[in-house]
Amino acid sequence: MPATDHDLTSLANSHDIISIGMLADDLRRTLHGTRTTFVRVATASAEAGAPVARSSAAGELRIVGAPASLSAAVARTGEAAAAAGDAVVTGFSLQDLERLSVQEGVTLRALLEELRAAGLELVGDAAVDALQDARRSIEEVNIAGLALARLTVDRAESPDAMPLLKAVAELQRAVGVLRAFAPLPRRVNPAAPTTGYDDVKRVAMARLVVDNVPSIQVDWSLYGPKLAQVALTVGADDVDAVSPEEATAEGRRRAPLEEIRRNIRAAGLDPVERNGRFDVLTR
């Protein structure tokens, strides 16, 4: 039986992280079983003309940073698409594209259509707390023939995550196209950093509250393998931004691919590599 609003409020006010985590893990296993996806991501600067490193191991080539202009964004997308090989080309933040459409005096849909024509497949991310009009802009992504790779949170302004998590669930009810939600903030206030307890509870509550978005995601490069592994035991089912490096100075067994697989298996789960479209990769 789905949790009621009263149940969720009680859990949010509780300090019993073990019980909250167990409930979130139960729901995660109902939705996904032990299947745990991860994606290896190569990144390229949004600066047009900058080198684009090729990586045959990456399932996603992500353009990061805010483009200076629409023409620069289109040019950079074309460069990334030419270098991507089998990797899915994703890029830019939807909030940056909102601002760029105003700057350029074009509609957001027209801007997105130009990027799609240049080779973009998915908008890299959208921070729910930074968008001017979340519902409209995400719908424009869909109408333009693109998809949104992940919904994110820019900042955690309040220790009470419930209003934001409820807003995400409501947004999904309106748009119905969100594939993954990463509930941990991309930026943290250095004067009031979150604790591991805060982060784990936020992931667990995200799984319980945002039960209509298929995947709860944690960022390997931003939060590190240890927190990512714990997050997988309290509701998360997808790991973003694993490095595509095939080997390290310590050898292939210490490479990111082997580390992510070991960490997922150690959590009692089954690792499944995917690409930027969430297609399973067999390699």
pLDDT score recorded for residue 71? 97
- Give residue-wise pLDDT tens across range 149-176: 999 999 987 788 999 999 999 999 999 9
| List of domains in the chain | 5-274 (3.20.20.70)
CA dist 225 and 239 (Å) reads 9
> How would residue 53 be classed by pLDDT, with cut points 50, 70 and 90?
confident
Q: Of 209, 183, 237, give the one whose Cα is nearest residue 3.
A: 209
Is the pLDDT at 189 greater than 90, yes or no? no
229-264: per-residue pLDDT in tens? Answer: 999 999 999 999 999 987 665 555 668 999 999 999
- Tell me the β-bridge partners of 125: 93
pLDDT the model gives residue 160: 86
Quickly state the pLDDT bin for 63 (edges 50, 70, 90).
very high
Least confident stretch, 21-25, 133-137, 193-197: 193-197
Average pLDDT value for the chain: 93
pLDDT of residue 55: 83
How much is the average pLDDT of 182-203?
88
Q: What are the pLDDT digits (tens) for 86-96?
A: 999 999 999 99
For the ranges 45-54, 113-122, 131-140, 267-276, the lowest mean pLDDT is seen at 45-54
| Rg, the chain, Cα only | 19
Please tell me the predicted confidence (pLDDT) of residue 1. 56
Q: How far is CA 200 from the centre of its chain?
A: 16
Interior/surface letters 108-132, b for 16+ CB within 10 angstroms, e for the rest: bbebbbbbbebbbbbbbbbbbbbbe
Write the pLDDT tens digit of every residue in 97-132: 999 999 999 999 999 999 999 999 999 999 999 999
Query: pTM of the full predicted structure?
Result: 0.94
